[in-house]
Structure 1
Amino acid sequence: MAVLFVHTDRLEIRLTRAEKILSLRRTNIDIPLDRIRSAVITEDPWVWVRGIRAPGSAVPLTLAIGTWKVHDGKDFLLIKGTRTSVVIDIDGEGDGAEFMRVIITTTHALELLRALRLPPAIEDPAKEIATD
């Protein structure tokens, strides 16, 4: 499972070798902290998935690793099963941020939100889908 590090200026997601192979990436993911707009804990990460896989690997409702292209940018998914995940929305793809949204399964979701200094919130993803 990927290891998350919160530095003073960025969130670093260190992918394992298997995750890099499945996502067809060579590098880890760095997200500037000043670009993080919001982060939400979710019990069902699959309702947050949008767009089409390109490139990456997926087994429906079991595994999603890689880049998903959406209308105006890209999302990165690292979802394993239906375990607790964190949905991180990012401002301004391109200017220091590679993705618009990152969804990552982690057993340390609340600790991640605390480290990011964002308020811990559990939100109904149906509201997000209805407003898109």
Structure 2
Amino acid sequence: MASLRVHSDRLEIKLTPAEKALALHKDDIIVQRENIRSATITEDPWIWIRGIRAPGTLVPLVVAAGTWKFHGGKDFLVIKGKRQAVVIDIADEEFARVIVSTSHAVDLIDSLKLAGIDSATS
């Protein structure tokens, strides 16, 4: 499972070698905290997928890993099964949204302590 690390200036999403292979993405994802617009916990990350896979891996309701392109940009996903996930909306970065399955969603939201943005559970 991807490792999420919150620093004072950025959020690092460190992918496992298997996740990098499934996502066809060689680097970890780094998001500047100032560019995070919202962070939402979801029990069903599959309903948040938009666009088409390009490139990546999709086995519906089992795994979605990689880049999804849509009319307004692209998202990065690492979704596994029916696990809880965090949906992070981003501005001025390579990806408009990152969706990551994690068993530490509440801790991630708390550690981000994003002033003035939606940290609702859906």
State the shift of 1:82 in Å. 1.1
State the shift of 1:62 in Å. 1.1
State the shift of 1:83 in Å. 1.0
Question: Per-residue displacement from partner, 1:39-66 (whole Å, max 9, x unpaired)?
Answer: 0000000110000000000101110000
Give the Cα separation in 2 of the matches to 1:44 and 1:64.
13
Q: Which residue of 2 aligns with 1:114?
A: 110
Question: Per-residue displacement from partner, 1:85-124 (whole Å, max 9, x unpaired)?
Answer: 00000012xxxx210000000000000001110364113x
Give the Cα separation in 1 of the matches to 2:55 and 2:91.
22
Q: Which runs of 4+ in 1 moved over 4 A?
A: none
Give the Cα separation in 1 of the matches to 2:119 and 2:36.
14
Unaligned ranges ≥5, structure 2: none
Q: Which residue of 1 aligns with 2:79?
A: 79
Give the Cα separation in 2 of the matches to 1:28 and 1:73.
19
SS of the residue corresponding to residue 34 of structure 2 reads: helix
1:39 paired to 2:35? no
**TM-score, structure 2 length as denominator?**
0.94
Unaligned ranges ≥5, structure 1: 124-132
State the shift of 1:72 in Å. 1.4
Contact residue 38 and residue 119 of structure 2 kept, 8 A: no
Give the Cα separation in 2 of the matches to 1:58 and 1:98.
21
SS of the residue corresponding to residue 95 of structure 2 reads: coil
**TM-score, structure 1 length as denominator?**
0.87
The CA RMSD over aligned residues, in Å, is: 1.0
SS of the residue corresponding to residue 26 of structure 2 reads: coil
Paired positions, count: 119
Percent sequence identity over aligned pairs: 60
Question: Per-residue displacement from partner, 1:7-47 (whole Å, max 9, x unpaired)?
Answer: 11100000011111111111100000000000000000011
Query: Highest relative contact order (Cα 8 Å, sep 6+), 1 or 2?
Result: 2
SS of the residue corresponding to residue 41 of structure 1 reads: strand
SS of the residue corresponding to residue 100 of structure 2 reads: strand
SS of the residue corresponding to residue 18 of structure 1 reads: helix
